[in-house]
């Protein structure tokens, strides 16, 4: 068993709005939220006052403890207001990705039994249609304005009393994000107030941001990584969050330069752009102090190329999943130059880990041995909503959460993640990690992006199949060169056996490769 080197911390038994915004009045006129596109700013004092007024209006509208509010919005400065107003009114918040299809949205509404939707006017048609498919939605609110719908702006005029809701941080669900976990079917992840508030406290010794720090929020708040790291963590400590609605490289670079961003939390595709895109050289990014990547595997050489180009310490990584609120490991800011290349970090405070054999799950492995990563700590989810069997398959009787990821730990306590258990390619008894081959492919100067999956040959043997995006100046890159490039650098069983050139690798908003879409093409 591996334990964190940080001192244990007591669980934070507070409602999440208190855990995050308890010191908002103290931070006063400090900018809390800035719209990175038009500069609109909310101070901490305003965030404190406005979210309380919106909470009062939601309660007046009928939102009660036990209700579920679906928050369906891109990143805006209103998103944190809506989130914390809903939890202060006693509701659980299920975050809906703004790019969700109407069908996906409707399924989430039905599964979560959401009675209320908060959205933005550009997404209103999708919200209405999804609501019509369920029949259980009482009202749709908007963050901005739309005819026939109450807006958060209108709610500021409410004279209703601030709700006084008896929230049990241990049992009451604060947020209900949807995750595929290890099964591929989206499930509601029940995260209590204590679990997500405690995870913030666990992360604090390693990556705390405070007054004077400016964090760029480009990854979606609708995903637990963005919700915790880009929204709640900086707001808890008096930092300023500069908000972008989506990733666009030029907009991101301009925001870093103009708002003097100090910390950047991203996913691997953004690291790739920062390392290779010519636009980067046109902007002054000297304000940046660090870059941390999470949500998907990041190759060590790509991380090094990005840090060299930006003149920064090595790009750090973090590790976790929705089911752990989401953090378990991170490269501490004060150890970024000492961390070995490719590590996803060390255990955060109050967290334990085991590495167990893939062939004998009851056997614990030691330093340097690869197996499935198991996690135990106060940030582990309450369970999957309405799915006790899936919960039991994920969290065993000892309280250990089975991540489905393969990794190993070195003598310094640094974790290295190899790949997902179910993504490993079984080639004639050998296990081949797609992530390792993808990282190698990205070192080829003619390759802009790549993904690898296992496919069956005519004889039934599973072999690595690479989907490759050529660089604009390498439009004639042949399949044979790609295969030879890999073959010269790996063991024979790891060789790429098929190559397909595509225009873009399908990815989730967090940067994870959507391998199922590639499998549908084969």
pLDDT (0 to 100) of residue 183: 53
Crossing angle for the helix pair 44-61 and 79-88, to the nearest 10 degrees: 50
C-alpha 256 chain-centroid distance? 20
Q: How far is the C-alpha of 448 from the C-alpha of 96, rounded, in Å? A: 30
Neighbours of 516 (CB within 10 A): 11
- Tell me the CA end-to-end span of the chain in Å, nearest whole number: 41
Q: Which long-range contacts (CB under 8 A, 24 or more apart) does 141-144 make?
A: 141/58, 141/61, 141/116, 141/117, 142/118, 143/73, 143/76, 143/78, 143/79, 143/81, 143/82, 143/118, 143/119, 144/78, 144/120
Contact of 205 with 6, CB cutoff 8 Å: yes
pLDDT (0 to 100) of residue 474: 94
pLDDT (0 to 100) of residue 179: 84
Q: Which residues pair with 66 in a beta bridge?
A: none
Region label for 349, one of left (φ > 0), alpha (ψ between -120 and 50) or beta (otherwise) = beta
Omega before residue 326 within 30° of 0, cis = yes
Cα–Cα nearest to 465, from 490, 431, 438: 438
Q: How far is the C-alpha of 171 from the C-alpha of 214, rounded, in Å? A: 33
Dihedral (Cα; 15, 20, 26, 28), 10-degree rounding: -120
pLDDT (0 to 100) of residue 208: 84
C-alpha 133 chain-centroid distance? 28
pLDDT means over runs of 10, the chain (522 residues)? 95 98 97 97 98 98 97 98 98 94 94 98 98 96 97 95 97 93 77 98 95 96 96 98 96 98 94 94 98 88 94 96 96 97 97 93 94 96 96 96 94 91 79 88 95 86 93 94 95 92 88 86 78
pLDDT (0 to 100) of residue 428: 77
Query: Given the DSSP bridges, would you call strands 383-384 and 371-376 parallel, antiparallel or unpaired?
Result: unpaired
3-state class (DSSP) for residue 415: strand
pLDDT (0 to 100) of residue 184: 59
pLDDT (0 to 100) of residue 299: 85
Helices (H), 372-413: 388-394
Region label for 383, one of left (φ > 0), alpha (ψ between -120 and 50) or beta (otherwise) = left
Crossing angle for the helix pair 124-134 and 102-112, to the nearest 10 degrees: 50
pLDDT (0 to 100) of residue 268: 86
- 10 Å CB burial of residue 112 (0-12, 13-18, 19+) is buried
Q: What is the DSSP letter of 8?
A: P
pLDDT (0 to 100) of residue 79: 98
Per-residue HEC secondary structure of 228-277 comes to HHHHHHHHHCCCEEEECCCCCHHHHHHHHHHHCCCEEEECHHHHHHHHHC
Region label for 158, one of left (φ > 0), alpha (ψ between -120 and 50) or beta (otherwise) = beta
Q: What is the CA angle 14-18-24, rounded to 5?
A: 150
pLDDT (0 to 100) of residue 456: 86
Residues sharing a CB contact under 8 Å with residue 293, sequence separation 6 or more, in sequence order: 265, 266, 267, 268, 270, 271, 303, 315, 316, 317, 318
pLDDT (0 to 100) of residue 33: 98
Residues sharing a CB contact under 8 Å with residue 242, sequence separation 6 or more, in sequence order: 34, 36, 214, 215, 216, 217, 255, 259, 261
pTM of the model: 0.86
pLDDT (0 to 100) of residue 80: 98
Contact of 100 with 51, CB cutoff 8 Å: no
């Amino acid at each position: 068993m591996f334990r964190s080197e940080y001192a244990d911390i007591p669980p934070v038994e507070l409602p999440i709005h208190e855990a995050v915004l308890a010191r908002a009045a103290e931070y006063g006129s400090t900018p809390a939220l800035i719209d990175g596109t038009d500069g609109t700013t909310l101070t901490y004092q305003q965030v404190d006052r406005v979210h309380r007024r919106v909470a009062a209006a939601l309660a007046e509208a009928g939102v009660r403890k036990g209700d579920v509010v679906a928050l369906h919005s891109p990143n805006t400065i209103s998103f944190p207001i809506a989130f914390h107003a809903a939890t202060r009114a006693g509701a659980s918040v299920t975050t809906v990705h703004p790019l969700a299809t109407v069908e996906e949205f409707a399924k989430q509404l039905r599964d979560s039994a959401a009675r209320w939707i908060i959205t933005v006017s550009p997404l209103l048609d999708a919200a209405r249609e999804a609501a019509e498919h369920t029949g259980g939605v009482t009202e749709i609110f908007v963050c901005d304005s739309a005819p026939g719908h109450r807006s958060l702006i209108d709610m500021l005029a409410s004279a209703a009393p601030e709700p006084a809701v008896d929230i049990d941080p241990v049992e009451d669900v604060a947020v209900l994000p949807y995750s595929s976990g290890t099964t591929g079917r989206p499930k509601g992840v029940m995260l209590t107030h204590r679990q997500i508030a405690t995870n913030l406290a666990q992360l604090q010794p390693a990556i705390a941001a405070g007054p004077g720090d400016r964090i760029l929020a480009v990854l979606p708040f609708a995903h637990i990584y963005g919700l915790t790291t880009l929204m709640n963590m900086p707001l808890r400590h008096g930092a300023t969050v500069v908000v972008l609605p989506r990733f666009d490289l030029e907009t991101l670079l301009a925001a870093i330069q103009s708002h003097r961003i100090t910390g950047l939390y991203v996913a691997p595709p953004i690291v790739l752009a920062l390392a290779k895109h010519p636009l980067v050289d046109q902007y002054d990014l000297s304000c940046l102090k660090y870059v941390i990547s999470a949500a998907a595997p990041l190759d060590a050489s790509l991380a090094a190329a990005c840090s060299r180009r930006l003149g920064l310490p090595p790009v750090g990584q973090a590790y976790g999943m929705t089911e752990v609120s989401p953090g378990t490991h991170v490269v501490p800011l004060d150890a970024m130059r000492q961390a070995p290349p490719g590590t996803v970090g060390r255990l955060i405070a109050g967290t334990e880990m085991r590495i167990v054999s893939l062939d004998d799950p009851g056997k614990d492995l030691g330093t340097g041995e690869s197996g499935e990563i198991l996690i135990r700590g106060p940030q582990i989810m309450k369970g999957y909503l309405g799915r006790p069997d899936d919960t039991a398959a994920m969290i065993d009787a000892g309280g250990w959460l089975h991540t489905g990821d393969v990794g190993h730990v070195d003598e310094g306590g640094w974790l290295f993640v190899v790949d997902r258990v179910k993504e490993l390619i079984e080639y004639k008894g050998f296990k081949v990690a797609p992530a390792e081959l993808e990282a190698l492919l990205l070192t080829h100067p003619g390759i802009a992006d790549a993904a690898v999956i296992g496919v069956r040959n005519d004889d039934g043997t599973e072999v690595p199949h690479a989907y490759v995006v050529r660089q604009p100046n390498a439009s004639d890159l042949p399949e044979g060169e790609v295969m030879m490039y890999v073959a010269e650098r790996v063991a024979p069983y790891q060789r790429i056996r098929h190559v397909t050139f595509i225009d873009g690798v399908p990815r989730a908003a967090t940067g994870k490769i959507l391998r199922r879409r590639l499998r549908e093409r084969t």
